Amino acid sequence: MVVLTIRDVPDDVRDALARDARERGQSLQSFLLSVLKRQADFGRNRQLLADIERDLATGGGAGDDAPDAAELLEQARTERERNSKDSPVRGTGGAA
């Protein structure tokens, strides 16, 4: 792991970050690490979206033979409803 040092942080910024950390029940170290991880994830997401946009602009994407997303969702919902009707009701405490 790497150690990062941030210099010249204004007191009011440190105080606001420390307050946010306390409200979440975290140390300032833990809170700041989660903020840095989240920011890194956003950067990766932006890159992924840029890659997708580039692929779509060059004719990429789902082929003509790809299934329709709405149909797939409807099939999944129907199957889920069928399975939930076939399953015993939970939390009833056993036989009546």
Residue 47 in domain: yes
What's the confidence (pLDDT) of residue 17? 97
Supply the pLDDT for residue 96: 46
Alpha-helical runs (H) found in the chain: 11-23, 28-57, 69-86
Which percentage of the chain shows pLDDT scores above 90?
A: 48
Residue 77 lies in a domain: no
Mean pLDDT over each residue of the chain, to the nearest integer: 86
Specify if 83 maps to a domain.
no
Domain ranges, residue 14: 1-60
Residue 67 within a domain: no
Flag whether 48 is in a domain: yes
Provide the whole-model pTM: 0.52
At residue 93 the predicted structure's pLDDT band, cuts being 50, 70 and 90, is: low
Sign of torsion over alpha carbons 52, 57, 59, 65: positive
Number of domains in the chain: 1
